[in-house]
Amino acid sequence: MPVQKRNNAWIIPLLGALCVVTPFAIDMYLPAFSKIAAAYETTTSEISLTLSTFFVGFALGQIFYGPLLDRFGRKRPLYLGLTIYILSSIGCALSPDLKTFIGLRFLEALGGCVAQVGAIAMVRDFFPVKESAKMFSLLFLMIGVSPLLAPTMGSALMAGLGWQWIFALLATIAFVILALIFFLLPEGHQPDHSVSLHLGSILLGYWRILRQPQFLTYSLAGAFSFAGLFTFVAGSPILFMDGFHMGTGAFGVVFAVLVMGFIGGNQLNVLMLRKFTSQQIFVGALFLQVLIGVIFFAGMRMHIVGLPATLVLFFIFLSCIGLTYPNAAAIGLAPFSSDAGRASALLGFLQTGTGAVVSMGIGLLGAQAVVTLLSATAVISLLILVVGRLSIGEIVETEETETVLIH
């Protein structure tokens, strides 16, 4: 039978809950950078490498879970990944040294990444292609809770109990989500035992997806556009706390306000989809993102951009990403139905992997690289789109297939 309306009330909130697992793991400990650095007798720049390591684990883990989500259904891989995430989070709180902490952050990301890639795949399970961009935007509204609440929660825990309790809370949140998924989320994709788990077959399957011109173009263009958000997240503690000498409380407020641009862009996207196609919105938002990036870069180079201008330019730039990301994901995944798990995993790998590589530049080069990387990623995204469109032909934005049924 088709997806029952009585189930829809649970589906979107539960998918949204899955989507906030990783953002909470990223945003909640940002205000604690200086305290963690002091605990391990190192610098905040080196602590930012723990964030880059998390991004690498998040990217690689999605490739691992993609075939599992198609082979075993969506829920069993979720149980596995979230359990790893919970145990690793507890381990982070107990880490005796920086190397152990970095390693456990990598494992935490490997486990937690199944939440987001599973949620993205289940959008294709439960909703028709023509509604995908709208559903992604609704999920990102829930993701918006993370930058609004997580840094504040992290600051409060750090002040009252110590930074280690941030990771204890992350484990607790994941446990609650795991229980809700077990009892309330329907299985959107029945196990497909024809999906091989042999390495050669997995790589061949990913290669077939990657060769699809529409997927390749929009996943890569979306990845470099989205990398601006990774750059902001990784660079903002250094830029604002070290560069502009903000305290942890002020930084938490600024971070939340700026990410409201990303959230606002996502919700504006829901309204714009009533009159425009995903392709039109993506192209328009990307052109504006490039323009703002160039202005930001030129202003910094000429030393005429202070704190107020930095805040305004960041807000507009992140708003553009809020428009580009859901539409790039929707267009990239549109040609796939039976391979939705692997396609969403590869999409996530490309997006997160690109962000991880870019954010590592901040850990190595410091605050001065933030604006340069912002501008460069936007320009590269536009170049990929222009070149890729030459090989696509007509864009597939709807698909004559039925929504996967719940049994």
Structural domains in the chain? 5-182+211-392 (1.20.1250.20)
Which run of H or E residues covers position 324?
helix 307-333
Q: What is the DSSP string of 312-323?
A: HHHHHHHHHHHH
Give the model's pLDDT for residue 401: 33
72 phi/psi in degrees, rounded to 5? -110, 5
Per-position pLDDT tens, the chain of length 407: 334 444 556 788 888 889 889 888 988 888 888 888 888 888 777 787 788 788 888 888 888 887 888 788 888 899 999 999 999 999 999 999 888 999 999 999 999 988 888 887 787 777 776 677 677 777 766 776 676 678 778 888 888 788 899 999 999 999 999 999 888 777 767 777 777 777 788 888 888 888 888 888 999 999 999 888 878 877 777 777 777 777 777 877 888 788 888 888 888 888 898 888 888 899 999 999 999 989 988 887 887 878 888 889 889 999 999 899 888 888 888 777 666 667 877 887 888 778 777 777 766 666 667 778 888 889 999 999 999 888 876 666 554 333 332 22
Structure tokens at 127: 């909703």
Residue positions counted in the chain: 407
Q: Distances in Å between the alpha carbon of 373 and those of 77, 106, 362?
A: 35, 23, 8
The first and second tokens of residue 59, run together, are 């990217």
pTM: predicted TM-score of the whole model, two decimal places: 0.70
Determine the pLDDT at residue 26. Answer: 85
- Written as one letter, the residue type at 244 is F
Written as one string, the DSSP assignment of 122-140 is: HHHHHS-GGGHHHHHHHHH
- Rounded Cα distance between 27 and 239, Å, is 16
Per the CB < 8 A criterion, the answer to whether 382 and 218 are in contact is: no
